[in-house]
Amino acid sequence: MNKKVKLLVLSIALIVVAGLGVFLYQRHVNNNNKTETEKIKYAQLVENTQSLVSAQKYDQAETLWQNYLKTDHSKTYTRGAYVQLATTYSNAQKYDQAITYYKKAEAIESKLDVVTGLAYTYESKGDKTNAIMYFNKAISLTEKSDDPSKSADIQGYKYEISQLEGKQ
Amino acid sequence: MKIVRHIINAALVLSLVVSIFAPVTASAARAGSPACPVGPTLYGRAECIGYFTGADVYKNGTGIDVDSVITNGTRSLLDVTNVTNFVSTMKSLLYGGGNDAMGAAFLIDTMLGKSGTSFTTVSGGITYAKNNFDTWQDRVEYYNSQGWVQWNQLVSYNAPFQNSARSKIIKNDDIFYMKQEDETQRTIVFSNPDGTKYRIKKNCGNLVGSSEKLISVPSYNLSPSVGVTVNGGATDGVAQVGDTIKFTYQVTNSSGQASGTTTCTIYGASYTGYHDQPDTPEAVNNNGYVAPGTGCPRTFAASSTVTLATETFTASTFNQTICRSLFVDPYKANAGAKGDETCVVVAAKPYVRVFGGDVSVGNGISTGTSTTCTPKDSASINAWNNGGSTFTGAGTQFAALALGSIDEFATAETTGAGGSVGNTTLPSGLAFSNTDTGDGYGGNFASLPCIPDYYSQAANTTAVTSPLNISSLTTGSYKVSGNLTIPAGTNAINPENRITVYVDGDVYIAGDIKYPGGFTYDKTPLFELVVQGNIYIAPGVHQLDGAYIAQQKSGAKGAIYTCGSAYAPYAIDETMYSNCNSKLVVNGLFSAYQVYLMRTSGTVSQSKTTETGTTSSAAEVFNYNPALWIAQPAAGTTTTNSDALKYDAITSLPPIL
């Protein structure tokens, strides 16, 4: 291959690589923007609905989360919405509905927010057995975490268990 | 191979370029510790910097090691369910010393908006919290009163989120840090009016989220008021049946600051008779009262007066007190309720009408045959009149003469005229004097003639005793020593009988005394009752014909009571209205040291310009008529001339006074 051909091939290769790079970068930026937009939207909804709950406007908060769940979201945000809706129901003393949605979230991923949510909801419902079981799960999960305040959190869950067991 | 190498080199260069221009999305954080990112500050302190001391508690290699802000044994604030135990728990922790005193101070100081940079030591922060505990307590209680606190809200936190804790290494101090674990926790949530929040996790006492300080307690001052008008005008607290009563409920905020959310409650009660309005407004509903809407709970703007509601109705029942009260709660921040009450008495204002005659007060009474007497300069006429242009109500068809004042008693009232008699005008056209311009009714006449001592004219009397039915008497003079009761039932004066009864004592009239329905002028009957004492007229008496004279004896008594029992007037209390609720018509005259017009029938608002003695709604009606002077015997006369008691001719000439 003569030198001119080599230079041509090199140029074409450079253009292809550059185009590919630009494409990948744009996709990365778009994904990031989309994720960031959803994150902001979700965070605002959390803030709004928690304010509604503080104002005891439970129905409005429930509706907002139900509407949110009617559209497609990533697993993370769908799970998060289940938790928030469940917590809203729990504050509204609709314990069975709260448990249903906590369980939906648990089915996606069992994390501390669901476990503690279930523990407090069962406690409010008067179901001591399940409340103690979930507080114990919360202790197990917290023990495995790297959170610097885990010992304090565990102490709180143990206090709740002791209260439920009537030891204090 | 060279081409491949070139391609790889180009790709590497491009990758480097892309990398260089890619945005930095991760927060700058201390290596290995997203819990302590550099940048954010809360209350003047960056993450993982001691709130009180400013010490950096991050340790390279191990990061931070933290515990609960408040331990409180192991319960932290989990047992807090209301403002009372929150305040008491915080106070107990603050003054209890140790880490929990620091934790309580951390919460109190941040709730008051105190920047951590204003402290250099933990003790300085604790001292500040103690010195400002009352202010903090006021704010917390104010938030609670406004319904701005949820004491047990379940909150799901999405990591990473702002948290706080007590650092256990490098420096024992409370810090802010970013928690990396989702959790759902019971939380005390204070909601600020601008939508921001201050949140405390109950399992650890940690301040959580981007918590904002509590606002200051506003210094508003609300005053409720209940105003009332009767028929659209000011009232002295008395209305009559048929009057339009309007209550107006207002709240005034005298402060330059708007109020917090305030509840307003209107109460309505009605009581039979007179209800003494207590100093403390009453929160009483009765008789199925339904209050008008107030639009509360609501806030009241600074320096404003707001009309919450009005209530208009027609008074329908006499002898009751209608009360309305308005309470606002709280009237000041962290204060209780304050109320105002107004009552209106729906009362009868009975009135007296005189037809065909005059009213004169203040005349002295001569003694024996003396023609001199001591007048009563303060003697006045007090009644109720509607005023306006028609002056319906209390008054006389002819003249009124008074040495004292004439108050709401019109002269020259004449049937159907509604304005004037001849060139006289209402209400003082025939008042003596009519130059008094005080309230327009006249009075303060210079002098009046003496009233004869009628009792001293008794002569040739026949002794009779109580009880005495007047029907049994024939023409002549009679005398009763001691008290006399004229019994119930009709006491008829037969035609041509001219009877004078002198009583040295009190008289109780229990029945009507009537002339016959018809008689000729030459057979006109006459009845005169001359009493040296008091005259009590039973409420069941509706008609008295003749002349009724009560004189003093030894400077006492001499009164006529139009509503009394045997030798005593009815009490002037809540029973008087029902006891005395009947009409009395006197076809004749009263002459007394004092006349108590006690009947409660009718009310002045029912008075009409067209009313007559028969149709009048007046409680007492006096018809002075010719029967009284056509039959004009010389009292106690001894003549035997059968024509002595007869007139040859009678005519009426002006003036008619």
A59–chain B nearest CA distance, Å: 16
Angle of CA points A13, A14, A19, to nearest 5°: 100
Q: What is the per-residue pLDDT for A70?
A: 96
Q: What is the per-residue pLDDT for A147?
A: 86
Q: d(Cα B390, Cα B416) in Å, to the nearest integer?
A: 10
Residue of B nearest to A6 (CA): B3
Q: d(Cα B126, Cα B108) in Å, to the nearest integer?
A: 9
HEC letters along B82-135: CHHHHHHHHHHHHHHCHHHHHHHHHHHHHHCCCCHHHCCCHHHHHHHHHHCHHH
Q: What is the per-residue pLDDT for B228?
A: 96
DSSP secondary structure of B476-527 = EEEEEES-EEE-SS-EE--TT-EEEEEEES-EEE-S-EE--S---GGG--EE
Share of chain A residues as helix, strand and coil, in percent rounded to the nearest 5: 85, 0, 15
Residue of A nearest to B163 (CA): A149
- B36's enclosing H/E stretch is strand B33-37
Q: d(Cα B450, Cα B429) in Å, to the nearest integer?
A: 24
pLDDT digits (tens, 9 = 90+) for B220-246: 999 999 999 999 988 888 999 999 999
Q: Cβ separation of B156 and A84 shorter than 8 Å?
A: yes
**Is the minimum CB–CB distance between B178 and chain A shorter than 8 Å?**
no
Q: What is the per-residue pLDDT for A22?
A: 75
Q: What is the per-residue pLDDT for B604?
A: 93
| b/e burial code for range B105-137 (CB count within 10 A of at least 16 → b) | bbbbbbbbebebeebeebeebbebbbebbeebb
Residue of A nearest to B64 (CA): A148
Q: What residues pair up with B346 in beta bridges, in sequence order?
A: B239, B320
Q: What is the per-residue pLDDT for B194?
A: 92
Q: Residue ranges of the domains in chain B? A: 29-208, 222-346, 348-452, 454-601
Q: What is the per-residue pLDDT for A59?
A: 97
Q: d(Cα B194, Cα A44) in Å, to the nearest integer?
A: 16
Q: Cβ separation of A17 and B163 shorter than 8 Å?
A: no
Q: Residue ranges of the domains in chain A? A: 3-164
B14 → closest Cβ in A18, A43, A152: A18
Q: d(Cα A168, Cα A163) in Å, to the nearest integer?
A: 6
pLDDT digits (tens, 9 = 90+) for B410-441: 998 864 444 455 556 778 888 999 876 678 89
B158 → closest Cβ in A6, A53, A80: A80
Query: Comparing B657 with A116, which gets the higher pLDDT?
Result: A116
Q: What is the per-residue pLDDT for B11?
A: 44
Enumerate residues 6+ apart whose C-beta is below 8 A from A129: A122
- B239's enclosing H/E stretch is strand B238-239
**Is the minimum CB–CB distance between B15 and chain A shorter than 8 Å?**
yes
Mutate to test the interface with B, among A4, A50, A168 (most CBs of B within 10 A): A50
Decide if B249 contacts B310 (C-beta within 8 A): yes
**Is the minimum CB–CB distance between A146 and chain B shorter than 8 Å?**
yes
3-state DSSP assignment of residue B19: helix
Q: What is the per-residue pLDDT for A1?
A: 59
Q: What is the per-residue pLDDT for B15?
A: 42
What phi and psi, each to the nearest 5 degrees, are found at residue B195? 95, -15
Q: Cβ separation of B204 and A152 shorter than 8 Å?
A: yes
Decide if B451 contacts B592 (C-beta within 8 A): no
Residue tagged 């004097």 (tokens): B433
Work out the burial of residue A83: count CB atoms within 10 Å of its CB; fewer than 13 is exposed, 13-18 middle, 19 or more buried: buried
Q: d(Cα B602, Cα B392) in Å, to the nearest integer?
A: 13
**Is the minimum CB–CB distance between B150 and chain A shorter than 8 Å?**
yes
Residue A154 has pLDDT above 80, yes or no: yes
Q: d(Cα B528, Cα B547) in Å, to the nearest integer?
A: 5
**Is the minimum CB–CB distance between A13 and chain B shorter than 8 Å?**
yes
Q: What is the per-residue pLDDT for B640?
A: 59
Q: d(Cα B100, Cα B115) in Å, to the nearest integer?
A: 20
Q: Which tokens belong to B142?
A: 């104010």
Q: Which tokens belong to B497?
A: 């009988």
Q: d(Cα B360, Cα B377) in Å, to the nearest integer?
A: 12
CB atoms within 10 A of CB B232: 10
Q: What residues pair up with B157 in beta bridges, in sequence order?
A: B183
Q: What residues pair up with B73 in beta bridges, in sequence order?
A: none
- B173's enclosing H/E stretch is strand B173-179
Q: d(Cα B81, Cα B202) in Å, to the nearest integer?
A: 10
**Is the minimum CB–CB distance between B78 and chain A shorter than 8 Å?**
yes
Angle of CA points B582, B586, B589, to nearest 5°: 140
Q: d(Cα B151, Cα B144) in Å, to the nearest integer?
A: 9
Q: d(Cα B102, Cα B143) in Å, to the nearest integer?
A: 24
Q: Cβ separation of A113 and B157 shorter than 8 Å?
A: yes
Work out the burial of residue B68: count CB atoms within 10 Å of its CB; fewer than 13 is exposed, 13-18 middle, 19 or more buried: buried
A148 → closest Cβ in B11, B63, B195: B63
Q: d(Cα B537, Cα B583) in Å, to the nearest integer?
A: 12
What phi and psi, each to the nearest 5 degrees, are found at residue B151? -85, -10
Mutate to test the interface with A, among B7, B36, B80, B156 (most CBs of A within 10 A): B156
B578–chain A nearest CA distance, Å: 56
- Tell me which amino acid residue B388 is: G
3-state DSSP assignment of residue B395: strand
Q: What is the per-residue pLDDT for B304?
A: 97
Decide if B392 contacts B417 (C-beta within 8 A): no
The complex's ipTM works out to: 0.84
The segments of chain B whose pLDDT lies below 70 read 1-32, 414-424, 436-437, 632-647, 654-657
Decide if B175 contacts B57 (C-beta within 8 A): yes
**Is the minimum CB–CB distance between B1 and chain A shorter than 8 Å?**
no
Q: Cβ separation of B191 and A13 shorter than 8 Å?
A: no
Q: Which tokens belong to B625?
A: 């008529």
The total number of residues written for chain A in this structure:
168
Residue of B nearest to A5 (CA): B3
Q: What residues pair up with B343 in beta bridges, in sequence order?
A: B323
**Is the minimum CB–CB distance between B197 and chain A shorter than 8 Å?**
yes
Strand boundaries in B517-605, DSSP class E: 526-532, 535-537, 543-551, 559-561, 564-565, 568-569, 584-592, 594-596
Query: Comparing A91 with B430, which gets the higher pLDDT?
Result: A91
Residue tagged 């954010």 (tokens): B40
3-state DSSP assignment of residue B199: strand
Q: Cβ separation of A157 and B203 shorter than 8 Å?
A: yes
Q: Across the A/B interface, how many CB contacts are shorter than 8 Å?
A: 134
Q: What is the CATH number of domain A3-164?
A: 1.25.40.10
**B98-to-A150, B84, B271 alpha-carbon distances in Å:** 21, 23, 62
Q: What is the per-residue pLDDT for B21?
A: 36
Q: d(Cα B638, Cα B635) in Å, to the nearest integer?
A: 9
3-state DSSP assignment of residue A118: helix
Distance of CA B309 to the CA centre of its chain: 15
Q: d(Cα B130, Cα B107) in Å, to the nearest integer?
A: 12
B154 → closest Cβ in A29, A51, A87: A87
Decide if B492 contacts B471 (C-beta within 8 A): yes
Q: d(Cα B231, Cα B417) in Å, to the nearest integer?
A: 25
Q: d(Cα B258, Cα A26) in Å, to the nearest integer?
A: 54
- Tell me which amino acid residue A22 is: V
Q: Cβ separation of B65 and A148 shorter than 8 Å?
A: yes
B18 → closest Cβ in A9, A25, A50: A25
Q: Cβ separation of B67 and A152 shorter than 8 Å?
A: yes
- Pairing mode, if any, of strands B498-504 and B535-537? unpaired
Neighboring chain A residues of B165 at a CB cutoff of 8 Å: 148-149, 152
Decide if B363 contacts B387 (C-beta within 8 A): no
Distance of CA A65 to the CA centre of its chain: 13
**B203-to-B155, B285, B427 alpha-carbon distances in Å:** 12, 46, 85
- Pairing mode, if any, of strands B173-179 and B161-167? antiparallel
A14–chain B nearest CA distance, Å: 6
Mutate to test the interface with B, among A1, A4, A54 (most CBs of B within 10 A): A54
Q: What residues pair up with B46 in beta bridges, in sequence order?
A: B41
B34–chain A nearest CA distance, Å: 11
Which 8-state DSSP code applies to residue B398?
A: S
Residue A2 has pLDDT above 50, yes or no: yes
3-state DSSP assignment of residue B176: strand
A116 → closest Cβ in B68, B185, B204: B185
Neighboring chain A residues of B10 at a CB cutoff of 8 Å: 10, 13-14, 17
Cis-peptide into B330, omega within 30 deg: yes
Options 1.20.1090.10, 2.60.40.10, 1.10.10.60, 1.25.40.20; CATH of B222-346? 2.60.40.10
